[in-house]
Structure 1
Amino acid sequence: MVPSEKEMELSETADFVYPSGFRLALLMISIFISMFLVALDKLIISTATPAITNEFHAANDIGWYGTAYLLTNCAFLLVFGKLYTILSVKATFMTAVVLFEIGSAVCGAAPNSVAFIIGRAIAGLGAGGVQSGVLVVIVYAVPLQKRPQYQGMLGAIYGVASVIGPLIGGAFTTNITWRWCFYINLPLGGVVLVFVFFLLRIPTPSSQSTIKYKLQQLNFEGLFALLPGVICLCLALQWGGFTYSWSDGRIVALLVLAFVLLIAFVLIQVWKPKQATVPPRIFIQRSVASGFWASCCVGAHQTLLIYFLPIWFQVIKGDSAVESGIHLLPMVVALVVSSIVSGVLTSRIGYYTPFLIFGICIAAVGAGVLTTLQVNTSVGKWIGYQIVYGFGLGSCFQAPSMAAQTVLPRNEVSVGASLMLFAQTLFGAIFVSVGQNVVDGQLSKRLARILSITPQQIASAGASGLFKEIPPQYYDAAKVAYNDSLGRLLMESETILVLGATGASGLAFVEEALALPNPPNLVLYVRTPSKISERVSSHPKVSIVTGSLSDYSTLDSTLKSHHVTTVVSFLGAYVSIPAMITRATDTPIANSFPEIIKAMKNNGVRRLLALSTPSYWVDGKDVGTWKLSLYSILPKVVVPQGNAEMVKIAETVNELGEDLDWTIFRIPHLTDGPGDIPVWAAYAGPDHKGSLDLSRRSMGRWLMGEIVEGRWINEAPFLGNY
């Protein structure tokens, strides 16, 4: 809650005079310009990245273009937060702006990728001081009760820079050169320096400390642990799995060293609380700790989407840099609106927590639906998804720093605010590296299925230049591979419950899922665990639960305890000699599906993929041919009970799954062929290009893609190899 004016008078010194009128207006304009600079530099690169990688032939450095900036930014955020408490606020802020300008100049003049990365690192260092400094200036310029409005404006400035940044970046890249994306910062930075020099007035402390005392307050022991710890962590995440395997000694050493150094940093803060960069008494406050965790999560998904969504537009949709920038407008406009509205309402009602909770929930939904983008996603969908995400992000973006300002005294606000910014940028740096690693690994593996192209060619080609290395006849397949690779960024967060995992189809699916570089968590719900091989059962991503379909309590608790997100069923397809003789058509398996669906709804599990047969005919969508009509009759003759089971399973899912995202995948004759055979999915008819054969492994790969992409939600495609 934001304190009332009376409470503020008790918590803040009564003799402090806040600026007003024209001076306040100019001061706010100066810090808004500085925040605009930082936001512009962070986002202007998003539409220029493909052109930069093409010029430098270094697509494997994409992650570093973001990581280098974020790395120094977050590593020195805490340092600047401490510096603002012991040094001149004005001098420290201006120094940060100068560093930012130097970095921008180096980026603009960079002759190669290495120089560009160095420039990004210098700019990130300066940006760390600017970000925390802006919040310090607001503390000394505006009473606490009115700060949410100005911080809402900061969020709006961030959004405006997000709108203009990608557009300017795209315009420069397409019409002039990407280098002007960084040269543009130089005149703006000069304006900021002039404004700050003449307008910023910070009260002089009553007691002047010596230089020796100030140096002691910098906590050098902690810095010597923090800076290399963060660097080691990001190096390991950048190289692991692509440049070197995760088991490589260099990666293991970096991870161990990062863990040890970061733990050492925490212990040093406890050991020397008076000189600590982040005093423990600040961090353990409930509002600060909660804001820190919220900032970690926001920074992770925000940075991933900012860097990879423009690449999706340029590679998958064929947009130019300018067009990809324009197509980000729905997200940033929604962010601007929600940031201003939440800031004004926070000042009015005096509470920031409702907007934080609301924003986090909406942003989570928006980020989730953005991961379902497909090659053929309609304009309405990707616009709507961005609006949802941007609105949620704007609502919660400023709340953590408001929490720090509310519970901390004025002279410690810089430490608390820097801690929130540190959380956002550290997790942003980590997840850009992780995201690039996932995309590179997935892309090289998927392209290898359609043509002979090496990971080195992918790395040197650049993001959009990749298609120059691929024959035109493979463009569509390459786009699907790239789209699937971007979608896999969150594949490892899936937990899939597999029904029928001991059958041939279920086992093939499990094998294909575990072959992924970042496999999902698999929960195998079986009656006979001994049928699962030791190699599968001992895999760290596999859990085995023994139970029957009629045991609702076990099924329900399994969905709940394992946090299942998707259910895949291979039940129903079996051959019974007695049933063939007696022509039995009872359906004990299908009769259990109402309970399965009930358990899913009870635990909030929406995604269901269920196996069925061509005998399940979809009126209005399937078109009969003599070949398909004959094939739909054969299961009724050969496997009457299995056919009856699968038809009833499909009917039950269709009837009771109104609140689920279900897919009924109908199969022809199954084979033991390899997994790299293409699968055609469509409704039955003369235009269906698939054969009447389908390898179980290729079906497994198709299902993994469908879980990520959701192309056939509430549909029943007929599969076949082609």
Structure 2
Amino acid sequence: MPLKKILIVYFGIDQTAVTTAAPKIGTDINGSDTISWLGTSYLVANCAFQLVYGRLSDIFGRKTMLQAALSFLVIGNILCSFAKTPVQLYAFRAISGIGGGGINNIAMVIVSDIVPLAERGKYQGLISAATSTGNAIGPFVGGGLAGANQWRWLFRVVAISGAVTITLIHFIIPLKPVTGSVRRKLLQVDYAGVLLSSSSIIFLLVPISGGGASFDWSGGVVIGLLTAGAICGILFVLVEGRLAKLPILPLRLFLLRTPCLISVQSFFIGMIYFGNLFYVPIFFQYVKGYTPLVSGAFVLAYTIPQAFWGIGAGFYITKTNHYKRIIIAGAAIWTLALGLQILWKPSTGLSSILGFLEINAIGVGFSLQTTLVAALATSPPKDRAVVTASRNFFRTMGGAFGLASANAIYQAIVATEFSSITTLTASQKASLLKSSTSQEYSLPAEGLDDARAAYCRGLQLVFAAFTAFGAMSLLLSFFIKEVTFAKDAPAPVKASSGLEEESSSTASPTAHSDVLDSATSTAIQDIEKGEAATPTVNIVKSVQTSGV
């Protein structure tokens, strides 16, 4: 377990260090009006490869794919450190996102492989704590280096840490590789699913993020990209349901009520979690006028408590076998905290801001990992990797859509507010929109106050959108099914009408060997023979296997 914690801490540092430094980076490269794409490009690539890693780890082995993921993250960060333009930076950050899509995902799968279900709440709580620790360290690293005008070294430090982690994995994790020829393994990859899912996400996110700012909402570019994204999404569903012999997202999982609800809920959780990580530092720096380092310190004040609340939630679930009440409480508290953030103004006292963020920390700690416990408790053990990948995929996709939609709201409102400011010249307005913090010391006091008020108005509407997403997450949490998991197998639950119910599943504490499960092995044999069961038969078999 210690190395898995190191991986999650490293992953958290990469995310929060970059988001804290983002305002300064945007200023230096004249990209403040598009700097949210520093996070969006990362999440788009991360999301596109989440599902891929889950299945590829079944095919090639957990250890191999974990090292491959870290390699992409290291290479991407090294390239980011040499970026000269916003476009270069966002493209290189996408390469990092390809790697980020596997680190958190595979680490969780490894935990699911070696930890029994009855103990999983405790260990997922520890993972939540490790994530929060990384989130806490990151703002100091990013803020400190950005404040010293050395933000390029931020990417280099993370790359060096990644290289060390790859070496540790080689010597410490003793996972057996999956046997079989390279050709056999390559034949199992769902290439059509990978291409269609990533294309759909990119085609949808680009116009959503740039609509109203870079593109006209009624223009041909936006309409064309949205249409292409929708078509790719429909084709992805058809491929996964009818053509793919080893799909990256088995549609049979959506026959199970709780995993299906968790996937949708995770989408909303991703929207508010990643969105807040990005826009809270922007509030501190653009509206309150704090330096990146001080902003990082304030972010630290609410990310550290997330670790303790996550650990507490995990141990509570292990002790009581009840996860639904934690998920509901977390969603309710988180939604309340997001609603309170709408009240933030340039004049709001620091104690009130940090107090609201402490409430936010409780919701985050209760929500991040407990949803995975619920999904794994109500799905077949053979689907551990794809269930984990699916949950992470929808959470990351929500983060990408959340940042894209938040950027569209923020840029539209700020541009509108700036157009009505009379205390700034046209050139000063243009400069502030492109490089939000570079001109503040040369502005008249009244003009600076008006600019900060405009930034605040945009952020208030962003936080209002996050509150609505949180309310949707809370609503869904009431319909999650709770099952008892213990050392003794629970009685099966009968299916009810409507969306199929699921029975609980238990996992014994067995050592992980990365040997493909029976369903996967059957699919491989079908591939080699050029045969495949019909989709209907596959779905019926999967439902029967899960005890429905």
Give the TM-score of the pair, scaled to structure 2. 0.81
How many angstroms does 1:229 deviate by?
0.7
Residues 63, 177 of structure 2: 8 Å contact kept: no
Change (3 A) 1:443 1:378: same
| CA distance in structure 2 between the aligned counterparts of 1:431 and 1:494, rounded to whole angstroms | 12
- Which of residues 159, 165, 179 in structure 2 aligns to 1:192? 165
Counterpart of 2:114? 141
How many angstroms does 1:213 deviate by?
3.9
1:117 aligns with 2:90: yes
1:387 aligns with 2:387: no
Counterpart of 1:202? 175
| CA distance in structure 1 between the aligned counterparts of 2:147 and 2:349, rounded to whole angstroms | 25
Give the alignment of 1:569-588 within 5 angstroms: none
Counterpart of 1:640? none
- Which of residues 45, 50, 72 in structure 1 aligns to 2:23? 50
1:312 aligns with 2:283: yes
Change (3 A) 1:72 1:364: same
| CA distance in structure 1 between the aligned counterparts of 2:411 and 2:427, rounded to whole angstroms | 11
| CA distance in structure 2 between the aligned counterparts of 1:201 and 1:296, rounded to whole angstroms | 34
Any idea what the Cα deviations from partners look like across 1:172-220, whole Å, max 9, x if unmatched?
1113511121111233223322221122223455xx4444443333222
Counterpart of 2:65? 92
Gaps of 5+ in 1: 1-27, 496-722
Residues 8, 103 of structure 2: 8 Å contact kept: yes
Counterpart of 1:406? 377
The alignment partner of 1:429 has SS state of helix
Change (3 A) 1:493 1:164: closer
Report the AA paired with residue 94 of structure 1: Q
| CA distance in structure 1 between the aligned counterparts of 2:466 and 2:251, rounded to whole angstroms | 32
How many angstroms does 1:240 deviate by?
0.8
Give the alignment of 1:23-38 within 5 angstroms: 28-38=1-11
- Which of residues 317, 320, 324 in structure 2 aligns to 1:349? 320
Report the AA paired with residue 381 of structure 1: S
Report the AA paired with residue 108 of structure 2: L
- Which of residues 232, 243, 251 in structure 2 aligns to 1:261? 232
Report the AA paired with residue 425 of structure 1: T
Change (3 A) 1:320 1:494: closer
Residues 341, 463 of structure 2: 8 Å contact kept: no
Aligned-pair identity (%): 25
Report the AA paired with residue 360 of structure 1: A
Give the alignment of 1:189-268 within 5 angstroms: 189-203=162-176, 208-268=179-239
Change (3 A) 1:251 1:489: same
| CA distance in structure 2 between the aligned counterparts of 1:474 and 1:485, rounded to whole angstroms | 17
1:443 aligns with 2:414: yes
The alignment partner of 2:33 has SS state of helix
Any idea what the Cα deviations from partners look like across 1:65-101, whole Å, max 9, x if unmatched?
0011101000000011110111122111111111111
How many angstroms does 1:283 deviate by?
2.7
Q: Which moved more, 1:386-395 or 1:171-180?
A: 171-180
How many angstroms does 1:328 deviate by?
1.4
How many angstroms does 1:142 deviate by?
2.3
1:302 aligns with 2:273: yes
| CA distance in structure 2 between the aligned counterparts of 1:490 and 1:133, rounded to whole angstroms | 31
Residues 331, 391 of structure 1: 8 Å contact kept: no
Residues 330, 390 of structure 1: 8 Å contact kept: no
Change (3 A) 1:417 1:454: farther
| CA distance in structure 1 between the aligned counterparts of 2:215 and 2:427, rounded to whole angstroms | 15
1:480 aligns with 2:459: no
Counterpart of 2:492? none
Residues 200, 232 of structure 2: 8 Å contact kept: yes
Any idea what the Cα deviations from partners look like across 1:672-706, whole Å, max 9, x if unmatched?
xxxxxxxxxxxxxxxxxxxxxxxxxxxxxxxxxxx
Counterpart of 1:11? none
Residues 58, 459 of structure 1: 8 Å contact kept: no
Report the AA paired with residue 138 of structure 1: V
Change (3 A) 1:167 1:416: same
1:75 aligns with 2:48: yes
Change (3 A) 1:49 1:402: same
How many angstroms does 1:345 deviate by?
0.9
Residues 16, 139 of structure 2: 8 Å contact kept: yes
| CA distance in structure 2 between the aligned counterparts of 1:446 and 1:46, rounded to whole angstroms | 24
Residues 233, 258 of structure 1: 8 Å contact kept: yes
Any idea what the Cα deviations from partners look like across 1:328-363, whole Å, max 9, x if unmatched?
133212311110100111111122221111111111
1:280 aligns with 2:251: yes
Change (3 A) 1:196 1:408: farther
**Higher share of residues assigned helix:** 2
Counterpart of 2:343? 372
Over the aligned positions, Cα root-mean-square deviation in angstroms equals 2.1
Change (3 A) 1:86 1:378: same
Residues 57, 459 of structure 1: 8 Å contact kept: no
**Higher share of residues assigned strand:** 1
How many angstroms does 1:409 deviate by?
4.2
Structure number with larger C-alpha Rg:
1
Report the AA paired with residue 350 of structure 1: N
Change (3 A) 1:316 1:110: same
Residues 105, 389 of structure 2: 8 Å contact kept: yes
| CA distance in structure 1 between the aligned counterparts of 2:448 and 2:345, rounded to whole angstroms | 15
Residues 57, 65 of structure 2: 8 Å contact kept: yes
Counterpart of 1:429? 400
| CA distance in structure 1 between the aligned counterparts of 2:466 and 2:101, rounded to whole angstroms | 31
Report the AA paired with residue 178 of structure 1: W
Q: Which has the higher contact order (CA 8 A, sep 6+)?
A: 2
How many angstroms does 1:465 deviate by?
2.4
How many angstroms does 1:490 deviate by?
5.1
How many angstroms does 1:133 deviate by?
1.0
How many angstroms does 1:494 deviate by?
10
Change (3 A) 1:458 1:265: farther
1:397 aligns with 2:377: no
- Which of residues 126, 135, 151 in structure 2 aligns to 1:153? 126
Change (3 A) 1:413 1:455: farther
Change (3 A) 1:492 1:150: closer
Change (3 A) 1:476 1:334: same
Give the alignment of 1:13-28 within 5 angstroms: 28=1
The alignment partner of 2:151 has SS state of coil
The alignment partner of 2:308 has SS state of helix
| CA distance in structure 1 between the aligned counterparts of 2:104 and 2:466, rounded to whole angstroms | 32
Residues 444, 454 of structure 1: 8 Å contact kept: no
The alignment partner of 2:361 has SS state of helix
The alignment partner of 1:416 has SS state of helix
| CA distance in structure 2 between the aligned counterparts of 1:145 and 1:480, rounded to whole angstroms | 51
How many angstroms does 1:36 deviate by?
1.3
| CA distance in structure 2 between the aligned counterparts of 1:310 and 1:432, rounded to whole angstroms | 14
Change (3 A) 1:492 1:165: closer
| CA distance in structure 1 between the aligned counterparts of 2:329 and 2:371, rounded to whole angstroms | 13
The alignment partner of 1:375 has SS state of coil
The alignment partner of 1:465 has SS state of coil
Any idea what the Cα deviations from partners look like across 1:10-29, whole Å, max 9, x if unmatched?
xxxxxxxxxxxxxxxxxx22
Change (3 A) 1:470 1:251: farther
